[in-house]
């Protein structure tokens, strides 16, 4: 029986690693991971969107974010890679959405990791909040 791609979940839970992995990023709303050390906070979505703040997200935002800007899910934490042929891509799905050979996002307690491969280059972006930063 052929698998229906509509029925396929865009994520997979890994209980042993305490993480959730995404291989599809066009979800109707962001699935976010909350990163914090108690004073400095951030959240990041499965597509790389998110924001950072100090103590209070209402008073001390360090990066901007529009909460009701769905389904765009931006701005966020972006790294751009430019290939020799001038193709620009990112380990996270946002902001370029350039097709790559492989892309995966993983959320776990305390960090989020984005990995992508294009041609012979593999890039990984790991986001976390330093625990000793006060």
- List Cβ<8 Å contacts ≥24 apart for 59-67: none
Stretch 56-81: mean pLDDT: 76
pLDDT for position 70 = 59
User: Residue 121 contacts by C-beta under 8 Å, 6 or more apart in sequence?
Assistant: 81, 83
CATH ID of 13-128, from 2.90.10.10, 2.40.160.20, 2.70.98.40, 3.30.465.10: 2.70.98.40
Reported as a single tens digit per residue, the pLDDT across 71-125 is 567 788 889 999 999 999 999 988 888 999 999 999 999 899 999 999 999 999 9
How sure is the predictor about 6, in pLDDT bands with cuts at 50, 70 and 90? very low
Q: Domain ranges in the chain?
A: 13-128
Contact 76, 61 (CB under 8 A): no
What six digits make up the tokens of 74?
A: 């931006």
Rg (CA), the chain: 16
Question: What does pTM read for this prediction?
Answer: 0.82
pLDDT at 1: 36
């Amino acid at each position: 029986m052929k698998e229906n791609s509509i029925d396929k979940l865009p994520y997979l839970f890994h209980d042993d690693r305490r993480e959730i992995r995404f291989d599809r990023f066009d979800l109707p709303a962001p699935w976010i991971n909350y990163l914090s050390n108690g004073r400095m906070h951030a959240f990041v979505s499965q597509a790389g969107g998110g924001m950072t703040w100090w103590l209070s997200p209402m008073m001390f935002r360090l990066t901007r974010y529009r909460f009701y800007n769905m389904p765009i899910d931006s701005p966020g934490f972006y790294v751009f890679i430019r290939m020799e042929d001038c193709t620009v891509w990112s380990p996270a799905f946002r902001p370029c959405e350039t097709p790559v050979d492989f892309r995966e996002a993983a959320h776990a307690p305390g960090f989020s990791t984005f990995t992508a491969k294009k041609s012979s280059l593999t890039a990984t972006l790991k986001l976390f909040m330093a625990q000793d930063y006060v």
